[in-house]
Structure 1
Amino acid sequence: YALDGDSQGLAGLNKSWKLYRGHKAQTHTLASIFLIEKKQLKKAEREDTIKIAKKEASSLLRVRHPGVLAVVEPLTEDENILAFVTERVEGTMAQLIKNNKMAEYLNSELELKLYLYPFLETISFIHDTLKQAHLAISP
């Protein structure tokens, strides 16, 4: 996989993953690449952050639901990085809210409700069916 430009932002618990747009080199299939540069992590927190990141990536791989990000290539690790590849995403919800991008797409309260419904349905699935908590959601 090849990266298409700079990082789009941060994702995951503690915002440890850098999110990149990318593509599969042979087929040019669009994808998103989640990457952690180990040397960029604070030394005191490195081991715990890597442990949590591995758990996040493996959790995504096990879940099959239309509202959950689909993993295309599982976690790979070497001495410098952790990375995995998913279906293409345009950014994180935090980025949409922070950059006020949602206002461009949502013109009414009804549109906002329709936009958020699949998200809330997915969170309900994670909590009620999988008995897990999505720890990267906060006000």
Structure 2
Amino acid sequence: MALNMKTLTQALAKTAAVIEKTVSTTVQEVTGPKPLQDFDLLDQIGSGGPGLLWKLYSAKPRSTSSQYPIVCVWVLDKRSISEARAKAGLSKAAEDAFFDIIRADAAKLVRLRHPGVVHVVQGLDETKNAMAMVTEPLFASVANALGMVDNIVNIPKELKGMVSFMQVEIQL
């Protein structure tokens, strides 16, 4: 039986591609989304988004090429959402629809450029267990500033010191 070099080369190339994809996926599952690899998380500074599911962390870039010395890394734990969905008796389709909305909103936020809208430094990246993105530095979300701080482990002093808003101020 003659060995066809072209067939052998193609088979090796396919095998190498499968191995590369497997290694990449495994590394990402272990280390998490790209923002968690590129930035060192410091403290949780807030929470935001639907149901305040996003956890906001102040972080320092690992490289010196970042335009911001401190950024805000948004992390969404997909496992906790799956567990909450199961407890609530909702379908997997509802969970998938929720994640699709998150992906679409994050993509829109990346394209927005306005002084009144938070600037995205690194777009949404996700793994099987988490989603993460990076924005310019923040000190909290609007919900946190309005007093919703139940899911923040250590409430930052900036939030503790905020005066309570009057109903008229909130409506403006």
TM bin, normalised by shorter chain, reads 0.5 to 0.7
Identity of aligned residues (%): 28
2:63 matched to which residue of 1? 26
2:113 matched to which residue of 1? 64
Shift of residue 97, structure 1, vs aligned partner: 2.2
Distance 1:20 1:63 in 2: 22
Shift of residue 52, structure 1, vs aligned partner: 1.8
2:40 matched to which residue of 1? 2
SS at structure 2 position matched to 1:8:
strand
Which letter does structure 2 place at the counterpart of 1:17? W
Measured against aligned partners, the alpha-carbon deviations of 1:112-135 in whole angstroms (never above 9, x if no partner) come to 7xxx9xxx7xxxxxxxxxxxxxxx
Which residue of 101, 113, 124 maps to 1:75?
124
Which letter does structure 2 place at the counterpart of 1:86? T
Which residue of 89, 92, 103 maps to 2:138?
89
Distance 2:106 2:63 in 1: 24
Shift of residue 100, structure 1, vs aligned partner: 6.8
Cα separation, partners in 2 of 1:47 and 1:66, compared to 1, 3 Å: same
Relative CO higher for 1 or 2, CA cutoff 8 Å, sep ≥ 6?
Answer: 2
Shift of residue 102, structure 1, vs aligned partner: 4.1
- State TM-score, norm by structure 1: 0.66
Which protein has the bigger helix share? 2
Residue 11 (str. 1) matches residue 48 (str. 2): yes
Shift of residue 53, structure 1, vs aligned partner: 1.4
RMSD: 2.6
- Equivalent residues in 2 for 1:89-108 (5 A)? 89-98=138-147, 101-103=161-163
